[in-house]
Chain A
Amino acid sequence: MSSSFLDRESTIAPPGYNRFLFPPAALAVHLCIGQAYAFSTFNLPLTKLLHITQSAPSDWKLTDVGWTFSIAIVLLGLSAAVFGSWVERVGPRKSMFASALCFGSGFIVSAVGIHFHQIWLLYLGYGVLGGCGLGIGYISPVSTLIKWFPDRPGMATGMAIMGFGGGALIAAPLSILLMEHFKSPKSNGVLETFVTMGVIYFMFMMIGVLAARVPAADWKPAGWIESEHRKPLVTNANVTVDMAWRTPQFWLLWGVLCMNVTAGIGVLGQASPMIQEILTGRVTPSAAAGFVGLLSLFNMGGRIVWATASDYLGRRYTYMVFFLLGIALYSLVPWFGHLGSVPLFVAAFAVILSMYGGGFATIPAYLRDVFGTMNVGAIHGRLLTAWSVAGVLGPVLVNYIRQFQIDHGVPKAQAYSITMYIMCALLLVGFLCNFFMRPVNEKYHYRALSPAPAT
Chain B
Amino acid sequence: MRARLILLWLAVLIPLGWGVMKTLQNALKLFN
Which positions in A face B, CB cutoff 8 Å?
16-18, 20-21, 24-25, 27-28, 31, 163, 166, 168-174, 207, 211, 283-284, 286-291, 293-294, 296-297, 342, 346
Once the chains are docked, how many angstroms separate the CA of A288 from the CA of B30? 7
The answer on a CB contact under 8 Å between B20 and A283 is no
Which residue of chain B has the shortest Cβ distance to A296 in the bound complex? Answer: B23
Residues of chain B with a CB closer than 8 A to A21's CB: 1, 4-5, 8
Interface residues of B in 1-32 (CB under 8 A from A): 1-2, 4-5, 8-9, 11-12, 15-16, 18-20, 22-24, 26-32
The answer on a CB contact under 8 Å between B15 and A294 is no
The answer on a CB contact under 8 Å between A31 and B23 is no
The answer on a CB contact under 8 Å between B11 and A297 is no
The answer on a CB contact under 8 Å between A173 and B19 is yes
Given A18-B1, A169-B22, A170-B18, check contact A290 B30 (CB 8 Å).
yes
The answer on a CB contact under 8 Å between A293 and B26 is yes
Given A18-B1, A286-B29, A290-B27, check contact A207 B19 (CB 8 Å).
no
Q: Give the contacting residue for A290; candidates B5, B8, B9, B26; CB below 8 A.
A: B26
The answer on a CB contact under 8 Å between A287 and B32 is yes
Which residue of chain B has the shortest Cβ distance to A24 in the bound complex? Answer: B8
Residues of chain B with a CB closer than 8 A to A288's CB: 30
The answer on a CB contact under 8 Å between B27 and A31 is no
Once the chains are docked, how many angstroms separate the CA of A27 from the CA of B12? 7
Given A24-B9, A297-B23, A297-B24, check contact A169 B30 (CB 8 Å).
no
Which residue of chain A has the shortest Cβ distance to B28 in the bound complex? Answer: A290
Can you list 13 A-B contacts (CB < 8 A)?
A: A27-B12, A31-B15, A169-B20, A169-B22, A170-B16, A171-B19, A172-B22, A207-B11, A283-B30, A284-B29, A290-B26, A342-B30, A346-B30
Which residue of chain B has the shortest Cβ distance to A169 in the bound complex? Answer: B19
Residues of chain B with a CB closer than 8 A to A31's CB: 12, 15-16
* Among A288, A290, A296, residue most surrounded by chain B Cβ atoms (within 10 Å): A290
Given A24-B11, A290-B30, A293-B26, check contact A166 B20 (CB 8 Å).
yes
